[in-house]
Amino acid sequence: MTGRIFVDANMFVYARDLGEPTKQPLAGEWLERLWQEQRGRTSTQALNEFYYTVTRKLKPGLTVEEAWDDVRSLLSWNPQPVDTSLLLRAREIEQRYRLSWWDSLIVGAAQLQECSVLLTEDLQDRSSYGGVTVRNPFVLGVSEEMATYAVAPAVASRHRPRGRPRRSSP
C-alpha cells in the first residue's frame, strides 16, 4: 500500500486557476485521485492560504461563497490543525533544515500526519525532510507508481539497550 500524500495550498489554488491552462487540469487530476484513494492530507494553514489566495489574488478569483464551499469540502480531509504539537515540530524543522517558518509548518504538518510525500512547488523537488519527500506535482506524473514512497516500518536498533542487562532465568 502506498503512503499518505500531503497537499500544499498551491495545488488547491491551481485546481481553480483558469489562468493556468497547463497546471489546472493536472492539479485537478491529482486532487481527484487522492480523494478517490483517500490518501490526501492537508492542514488548516494550507486551507487558509487557499481561501485568501483564490478570493484576493486570483484573477479571475472565486467568490467568498465558492471558496468557502471548497474549504468546507476539504475539511473532510481532516486537516492538521495549527496546534502546540505542530508549532513544536515546525520549530525543530526550522532549526534543523533552515526552512522558512511557513514551509516548516507545512513539512511539520505532513510529518504529523505520517505522509510520505509532500506535493508542492514551494520546496526543491526530491528533497527529504524526516521521512517526507517533496515532489513537484507537475514533474511527478499522477499515474506514476507511488509505492517507493510508502511509509517504511521502523527499524529495530542494532545497539544493545542502555541500563543493566537482564538476568536470564535459570
CATH number, domain with residue 137: 3.40.50.1010
Does 30 have pLDDT greater than 50? yes
Identify whether 162 is part of a domain. no
Question: Is residue 146 domain-resident?
Answer: no
Verdict on whether the full-model pTM lies above 0.75? yes
- Report CA 70 to chain centroid distance, whole Å: 18
For residue 120, give its domain range.
4-141
Q: Where are the alpha helices (DSSP H) in 99-161?
A: 101-112
| In a domain? residue 87 | yes
pLDDT of residue 24: 96
Given pLDDT bands bounded at 50, 70 and 90, which one contains residue 153? very low
Using pLDDT thresholds of 50, 70 and 90, give the confidence band for residue 162.
low
| Mean pLDDT, range 21-25, rounded to an integer | 95
Tally of structural domains, the chain = 1
Residue 81 has pLDDT above 50, yes or no: yes
91-99: Cβ within 8 A, 24+ apart: 93/129, 93/130, 97/129, 99/123, 99/129
What is the pLDDT averaged over residues 122-137? 96
Single-letter amino acid code for the residue at 167 = R
User: Is 85 part of a structural domain of the chain?
Assistant: yes
For residue 167, being part of any structural domain is answered with: no
pLDDT at 36: 94
Whether 97 maps to a domain, the answer reads: yes
40: phi then psi, degrees, rounded to nearest 5: -80, 140
pLDDT at 167: 57
> Does 30 reside within a domain?
yes
Handedness of CA 5, 8, 14, 17 (dihedral sign): positive
The answer to the question of residue 48 being in a domain is yes
Nearest alpha-carbon partner for 111 in 84, 93, 135, 127: 93
